[in-house]
Amino acid sequence: MSLPLAPSYDVVVVGSGPTGSTYVREVFERRPDARILLLEAGPKLGDPPGGHVKNIDGDEPRARAQRASEGPAPAAPGRPGTRLLGTPDLPAAAISTNVGGMGAHWTAACPRPGDSERIPCVPDAEMDRHLTRAEELLHVTSHAFDRAPFADVVRQRLAARFDAGRPVSRRVAPMPLAVTTRPDGTHAWSGTDVILGPAAADPRVELADTCLCLRVLHDAGTVTGVAVRDLNSGRETTVTAAAVVVAADALRTPQVLHASGIRPAALGRYLNDQPQIVHAVRLPDDVVAAHDEVTGRTREDDGGIVPQSGVSWVPFTDEHPFHGQVMQLDASPVALADEDTVRPGSIVGLGWFCAKDLDPEDRVTFSDTETDAFGMPRIGIRYRCTDRDLATIEAARNAVAEAGAALGDPLGGEPFLLPAGSSLHYQGTTRMGPADDGTSVCDSHSRVWGTEGLWVAGNGVIPTATACNPTLTSVALASRGAHALAEQLPRRTVATAAPTAG
């Protein structure tokens, strides 16, 4: 889109990923008088905007969409649709810049947090209501792969190893996934098009792609609007707003606030990546022979994961502070002998994510003299593993090895630790808290301390050490924040005239 935009909106949301889109949808539904601008620095990838790239038909169109998401810096090896940030302490840190954000590329895993992953400053009953709402917005189901061959035996073997002493909610189970099974048996993966729903086509909501938010504008402690650059023309403008939500991910949300001169003491601190251990095994021949239920579908039919693919979950507990994601594959991740025949679902990939010690010195930093490819303050990262982290990683490595031994024969050697940043689950940099005491950026409704009318959203607001995939939690917190925003938003703050097309 080219500027100009309309001169004013009720709400401006910066970032079109899952949480920014949640704010749009919730305010849209709760405040029919509000006009909303959704700003995105990246391009639209297809129709509908914000759709998951797995839903794009054909390898080449899908690859073009992924390349368009990578932005001006080098792509991340092995991570189509992302680009490397380029920081030594977190060498695999990567981001996407496109309509839908990482929601166009994610694995769609939506487990609920448990035990100490829960948010202390949000009442449990209220958090559960918003988690349920997040599941509705994302179209989450645990039954997408009920027909997957070998999935039952995989879960039975994992349960025999891990379920003893766990409450029912923390036992081995199918992974909840943001995916819809179509009538023909194929799958549609949830992107932010699913979250936006009817808001995407309503004239009260305007999506401006390739438009970078340079700064949040504020005066005397109150938000007044945003400064925007059209990345196609280079033209800059300002728009006024009663409320601004910055949902630009856990690395770039604090970047926008820093560039705006809004710098709470905890901004960028408590950065939390999840150390990730991976392993692969092959189910024994006797198990495959006894449970041979191949449907004949191919990987291409379902955009990457097929009914032969089961996705199982070994939940986090405080006693076992890691989260297991177990995926059955239709191909081996390591080279096999030419004479080997891989039965779909018989190769099992195991990924264990670890909860990390929270340290205010693990942080994102911003240069006041150097800029990135978009002209924003250059990001740096300081990140270290503590002795306790190293012990957790070793325990997770042992747990993965035990899970692999329970399932079958190892492939490709022992479980190994991926480079720091590989999880893509960055959190904590705009964390919420119960009080403005210098250890949090926002309150439990995601309102930034000391700046009236400013909200933050995304995985960055999560204040706890988590191991589970964070998207469901951050969407739930966004739903909660959006309800507060809708209640506080002044009635009819702008005219109803449509914006000028450009």
Active site residue 425: yes
Crossing angle of helices 18-30 and 471-488, rounded to 10°: 30
422 and 276 in contact (C-beta within 8 Å)?
Answer: yes
> In one letter, which amino acid is 69?
S
Q: For residues 280 and 298, what is the distance between their CA atoms, to the nearest angstrom?
A: 21
Q: For residues 224 and 25, what is the distance between their CA atoms, to the nearest angstrom?
A: 22
Q: Which residues of 429-453 are buried (b: 16+ CB within 10 A; e: fewer)?
A: bbbbbeebeebbbbbbbbbbbebeb
Does residue 113 have a cis peptide bond before it, meaning omega lies within 30 degrees of 0? no
Q: Which residues pair with 180 in a beta bridge?
A: 188
Close Cβ partners of 437 (under 8 Å, ≥ 6 residues apart): none
Crossing angle of helices 124-138 and 18-30, rounded to 10°: 100
Query: Pick the catalytic residue: 139, 320, 425, 445?
Result: 425
> In one letter, which amino acid is 83?
R
E-strand stretches of 66-172: 83-84, 94-95, 140-141
Residues with catalytic annotation?
425
